[in-house]
A and B are shown apart, each in its own frame.
Chain A
Amino acid sequence: MTEIVRMSATQLVEEMAQGNLSSVEITEAHLDRIDSVDGEIHAYLHVDRDGALATAAEADAARNTGADLPPLAGVPVALKDVMAMRGVPTTVGSRILDGWLPPYDATVVTQLRSNLMPILGKTNMDEFAMGSSTEYSAYGPTRNPWDTTRIPGGSGGGSAAALAAFEAPLAIGTDTGGSIRQPAAVTGTVGVKPTYGGVSRYGLVALASSLDQAGPCARTVRDAAMLHRAIAGYDPMDSTSIDAPVPDFVAAVREGDVRGMRIGLVTELSGDGYQAGVQQRFTEAVELLAGLGAEIVEVSCPNFTHALGAYYLILPSEASSNLAKFDGMRYGLRVSDGDEGVEQVMARTRAAGFGDEVKRRIMLGTYALSSGYYDAYYGQAQKVRTLVQRDFDAAFADCHVLISPTCPTTAFPLGEKVDDPLAMYLNDIATIPVNLAGNAALSMPVGLAPEDGLPVGLQIMAPHHQDARLYSVAGVLEGALEDRWGRPLIEEVGA
């Protein structure tokens, strides 16, 4: 039998259904794995051993009664530390929330609990989800399991690394400009940014509310579809939540077919700045899709070239407002030397509690929103957002889905871009347009770049509310790639 921690969620479900494994055994195997490898990888900020085992025992007891169980009952999951979980440390990668124990659960956590999924712990992330490498975490970086001198992507590097290091079969991420997809790409895993509003934001510590979207991370497309279904759905606690039935994403994987489908290659998301091996594996995947019966067309989205600029005005603006609540008054850090007034205490607390990148973005947002600059920066960025949406509308009028490389390069070395904010931002060039428009996208592995042996991600983009198309295309492509490789790419990790 395959080692427990190397099994997909789909396999674990099957083993439990057949009575070969219990959820407690599965959860313990993952906790043991965390004990043995996380000292090096540092995917987790907090491991909730007792909580996970209690849920596992509950799942096993429910199974023994013969009750009808949710599909993923008993399958453990890792949670990005951006989600509030009652009584469990939630730091959002920041010193300012060191030691905070939330008094409530995020809706996603409630859903995981009602699905009887043991939550293994909280995963590392760039502070307040600002970053593309997890190096901006106040608690030290996460290392990429493919090469521990490299970044695991960000902001959700902890969730992606936990999957690639077999420290969890499933994980939750959040994606504001690529924070699910880019880590998936550089760790050879699968990550999905659902349509905006598809998964509740309640209890998610907000970075940029009009861009933030939680979603599933997994090692296979089908596993991602199962987790997506478990966490999706209408939530009255989130005013932007989609009030519509959740499509059957798992059926979309099972019945996936690209014959007769028009797939658009976005001209602006290739060429200069894209690593040769990334481009090569991407092109091979496109040829494979054509061979499977898809019609490949080239489409131009001219305003995508301005998306990065618009994003780095809109995001800091929203973030500077959202992060105003961290003032040292009601929760988290307070820095004071005694008899200071409230504003001085706030300013000292925020200076001590926030890291460099968070301070940069708060000031950038404050600048973009300030009198005299508002129209030229924030106002204009919102107009560019409209243009990006129009580009998507035009492209989707002609194509069922669009595809591109997920990121311009494979995982870069730790430390390489940490003091060069602009170079760090350029990682998100292909993932940002989707967040601005609010539609859905998925990243999946399509091979290793020949020049460095590191994973390459392919991004599939679908119109609003058509997330099922992502699974349809990704499922077919994953099957064809694994036929070619003879085994899943993830089995090459650490080889």
Chain B
Amino acid sequence: MSDITRDEVAHLARLARLDLPEEDLTHYAEQLDVILDAVAAVSQVAADDIPATSHPVPMANVFRDDVNRGCLDRDEVLSQAPAAEDGRFQVPRILDDEEPS
């Protein structure tokens, strides 16, 4: 049993930057508990000597020549931003910030 609690869900929501109302926390706690119970058996399956697989194919870094090439059009990109000013993304204040509740 995973027994995930409402408080743990509140913590997860904080970590994941999701501002959830109280009733959602309780609802998600119940659902996540059911899901985690169903998948928990996975932790018992593999022996210690089984290597982990993170990718289905061998991964190799890909390089390109260090030369200038085109990039996205600045005005086109900024036209999609929620707010822009002087050719830059405009964001909410980042200093003197309170912790999200």
Contact = CB atoms under 8 A, between A and B. Distances in A.
Interface stretch (A26-34, A71-79, A291-299, A359-367): A359-367
A437 interface: yes
A354 B72 contact: no
A308 to B, nearest CB: 8
Interface in A334-390: 334, 336, 339-348, 350-351, 354, 359-360, 362-364, 366-367, 370, 376-377, 379-387, 389
Interface string B17-38: 1111000100010011011101
Interface residues of A, number: 72
A327 B70 CA distance: 26
A239 B59 contact: yes
B54 interface: yes
Interface stretch (A96-104, A281-289, A487-495): A96-104
B17 A379 contact: no
B19 A341 contact: no
Given A103-B76, A464-B57, A351 B42 contact: no
A240 B96 contact: no
Contacts of A340: 92
B55 A240 contact: yes
The A contact surface, by secondary structure, is helix
A332 interface: yes
A367 B32 contact: yes
B8 to A, nearest CB: 8
A331 B81 contact: yes
Interface string A434-467: 0011110000000000000000000000001000
Residue from the set A104, A334, A347, A370 with the largest chain B CB neighbour count within 10 Å: A347
B14 to A, nearest CB: 8
B61 to A, nearest CB: 7
Contacts of A370: 12, 15
B43 A377 contact: yes
B39 A312 contact: yes
Contacts of A308: 39
B85 interface: no
A239 B55 CA distance: 12
